[in-house]
Structure 1
Amino acid sequence: MPDATAHWVRALVFTLVLRGGTAAEVSLWNAEINATQDAVFRKTLYANTTIFMKFQGDLASCDGNLSFNVSWYLRSSVCYNEVFNTPDNKAMSMFGLEHMLRDGWSGYYSQGYMFFDNCSSLFLPKVYYTEFNPYQPLSSPKSDPSNQTFTWPDKPDIGALAKSWDDSPYIFIVKVQPLLRGEDDISEVPNFAFTMKVEMKGPNDYSSPADWPLMMFFMVMCIVYVLFGALWLFWSACYWRDLLRIQFWIGAVIILGMLEKAVFYSVYQSIRYKGEYVQGAVIFAELLSALKRSLARILVLIVSLGYGIVKPRLGTTVHRLVAVGLLYLLFSAVEGVLRVTGGHGTVALVGNLGLSLIDSCVMWWIFISLSQTTKLLKLRRNVVKLSLYQHFTNTLIFSVVASIIFIIWTNKVFRMVGCQTGWRDLWVDDAFWRLLFSTILLVIMVLLRPSANSQRFSHSPLIDEDDEEEEAKEPMLNEAFEGMKMRGSKPDTNGSQKLLSKEDEDLKWVEENIPTTVADVALPALLDDEEEILKTKMERSKME
Structure 2
Amino acid sequence: MLGGVANMSNMSNIMSCFLLLAALFAPGRTAEVSLWNVDINSTQHAVFRKTLYANTTIFMKFQGDVGSCDRTVAFNISWYLRSSVCYNEVFNTPDNKAINMFAMEHMLKEGWSGFYSQGYVYFDNCSALFSPKVYYADFNPYQPLSSPKSDPSNQSLTWPDKPDIGAVAKAWEDSPYLFIVKVQPVFRGPEEEDFTFTMKVEMKGPHDYSSPADWPQMMFFMVMCIVYVFFGTLWLFWCACYWRDLLRIQFWISGVIILGMLEKAVFYSEYQSIRYRGDYVEGAVIFAELLSALKRSLARILVLIVSLGYGIVKPRLGTTVHRLAAVGLLYLLFSSVEGVLRVTGGFYGTVALVANLSLSLIDSCVMWWIFISLSQTTRLLKLRRNVVKLSLYQHFTNTLIFSVVASIIFIIWTTKVFKLVDCQKSWRDLWVDDAFWRLLFSTILLVIMVLLRPSANSQRFSHSPLIDEDDEEDDAKEPMLNEAFEGMKMRGSKPDANGSQKLLSKEDEDLKWVEENIPTTVADVALPAMLDEEEEILKTKMERSKME
TM superposition score normalised by structure 1: 0.86
Residue number in structure 1 paired with 2:420: 416
Question: Residue 51 of structure 1 aligns to a residue in which SS?
Answer: strand
Counterpart pick for 2:349 among 345, 353, 363 = 345
Higher relative contact order (CA 8 A, sep 6+): 2
**How far off its partner does 1:12 sit?**
1.8
Instruction: Provide the rounded CA distance (Å) in 2 between the counterparts of 1:169 and 1:127.
Output: 27
Q: Does 1:100 align with 2:107?
A: yes
Is 1:203 aligned with 2:198?
Answer: no
1:495-506 counterparts in 2 under 5 A?
A: none
Deviations 1:249-294 (A, max 9, x none): 0000000000000000000000000000000000000000000001
**Partner residue of 1:324 out of 322, 327, 352:** 327
Matched, 1:522 2:525: no
8 A contact 1:178–1:189 mirrored in 2: no
Offset, 1:202: 0.4
Counterparts of residues 10-21 of structure 1 (less than 5 Å): 10-17=13-20, 18-19=22-23, 20=26, 21=28
Q: Which moved more, 1:358-367 or 1:174-183?
A: 174-183
CA contact (8 A) 2:58 2:169 kept: yes
Cα drift, residue 90 of structure 1: 0.4
Deviations for 1:384-424, whole angstroms, at most 9, x for unmatched residues? 00000000000000000000000001101111240011100
Deviation at 1:474, TM superposition (A): 6.7
Farther-moved stretch of structure 1 (321-330 vs 136-145): 136-145
Match of 1:261 in 2: 264
Q: Aligned partners of 1:295, 1:537: CA distance in 2, in Å?
A: 31
- Structure 1 contact 331–352 (Cα < 8 Å) conserved: yes
The 1-side partners of 2:176 and 2:470 are apart by 74
TM-superposition CA deviations, 1:46-81 (whole Å, max 9, x none): 010000000111111101101011111000001011
- Once residues 530 and 413 of structure 2 are traced to their aligned partners in structure 1, the CA distance between those partners, rounded to angstroms, is 49
The 2-side partners of 1:110 and 1:5 are apart by 57
1:355 to 356, 359, 369: 359
The aligned counterpart of 1:393 is: 397
Q: What letter matches 2:225 in structure 1?
A: C
Q: CA deviation at 1:298?
A: 0.5
Are the equivalent residues in 2 in contact too, given 1:135–1:147 (CA < 8 A)? no
Q: Spell out the pairing of 1:438-449 with structure 2 (5 A cutoff).
A: 438-449=442-453
SS at 2:533 equivalent: helix
Please name the residue that 1:455 is paired with.
Answer: 459
Deviations 1:347-368 (A, max 9, x none): 1122111111111111111111
- Mapped to 1, the partners of 2:438 and 2:37 lie a distance apart of 33
Flag the 1:530–1:447 CA change in 2: closer, same or farther, 3 A. Answer: closer
Give the CA deviation at 1:41. 0.2
Aligned to 1:467: 468
**What is the percent sequence identity of the aligned residues?**
77
Matched, 1:174 2:181: yes
Which of 82, 87, 97 pairs up with 2:89? 82
Residues 220-235 of structure 1 mapped to structure 2, 5 A cutoff: 220-235=223-238
SS in structure 2 at match of 1:231: helix
C-alpha deviations, 1:285-323, integer Å up to 9, x for none? 000000000110000000000001111110100111111
Aligned-partner residue type, residue 277 of structure 1: Y
CA RMSD across the alignment: 2.5
Q: Distance in 2 between matches of 1:138 and 1:151?
A: 15
Distance 1:357 1:369 in 2: 18
1:364 is aligned to 2:368: yes
State the partner residue of 1:478.
478
In structure 2, the partner of 1:428 is 432
Q: Are 2:64 and 1:57 equivalent residues in the alignment?
A: yes
Structure 2, unaligned stretches of length 5 or more? Answer: 482-513, 540-548
Superposed displacement of residue 467, structure 1: 1.1
SS at structure 2 position matched to 1:90? helix
Asked if structure 1 preserves the Cα contact closer than 8 Å seen for 2:466 and 2:532, the reply is no
Is 1:120 aligned to residue 127 of structure 2?
Answer: yes
- Aligned residue in 2 for 1:315: 318
CA spacing shift, 1:91–1:479, aligned 2, 3 Å: same
Q: In structure 1, the residue corresponding to 2:471 is in which secondary structure?
A: helix
What is the alpha-carbon distance in structure 2 between the residues aligned to residue 68 and residue 130 of structure 1?
16
Output the TM-score relative to the length of structure 2: 0.86
Distance in 2 between residues matched to 1:412 and 1:365, nearest whole Å: 29
Cα distance between partner residues in 2 of 1:92 and 1:457: 67
From the superposition, tell whether residues 476 and 77 of structure 1 become closer, same or farther in structure 2 (CA, over 3 Å): farther
Alignment check: 8 A CA contact 1:466 1:536 kept: no
1:398 alignment partner AA:
F
What is the DSSP-based 3-state SS (H/G/I as helix, E as strand, rest coil) of the residue aligned with 1:429?
helix
Distance across 2 between alignment mates of 1:459 and 1:127: 75
Q: Tell me: CA distance 1:153–1:450, structure 2 relative to 1, closer, same or farther (3 Å).
A: farther
CA offset at residue 190 of structure 1?
4.4
In 2, the alpha carbon distance for the partners of 1:249 and 1:47 equals: 47
In 2: Cα distance, 1:390 partner to 1:378 partner: 11
1:141-220 aligned at under 5 Å gives the runs 141-181=148-188, 190-220=193-223
Q: Is the 8 A contact 1:214 1:427 kept in 2?
A: yes
Aligned counterpart, 2:498: none
Partner SS for 2:288 = helix
In structure 2, what is the Cα distance between the partners aligned to 1:531 and 1:407?
39
**2-side partners of 1:537 and 1:478: how far apart?**
16
State the distance in 1 between where 2:275 and 2:50 align. Answer: 14
**Aligned equivalent of 2:37:** 30
Q: Secondary structure at the match of 1:165?
A: coil
Q: Distance in 2 between matches of 1:530 and 1:365?
A: 15
CA separation in 1, counterparts of 2:253 and 2:165? 54
Match of 1:404 in 2: 408
Aligned-pair CA distance for 1:182: 8.0
Contact 1:245 1:308 survives alignment (8 Å): yes
Residue 147 of structure 1: how far off its partner (Å): 3.5
Alpha-carbon displacement from aligned partner over 1:5-32 (angstroms, at most 9, x marks no partner): 4333222212223242320000000011
Q: What amino acid is aligned across from residue 428 of structure 1 in structure 2?
A: V
Gaps of 5+ in 1: 482-519, 540-544
Residue deviations 1:82-122 (CA, integer Å, cap 9, x gap)? 00000000000001111111111111110011001001111
AA at the equivalent of 1:479 = P
55, 65, 74: which one aligns with 1:67: 74
Q: 1:141: how far off?
A: 3.2
User: 1:406 and 1:216 mapped to 2: Cα distance?
Assistant: 21
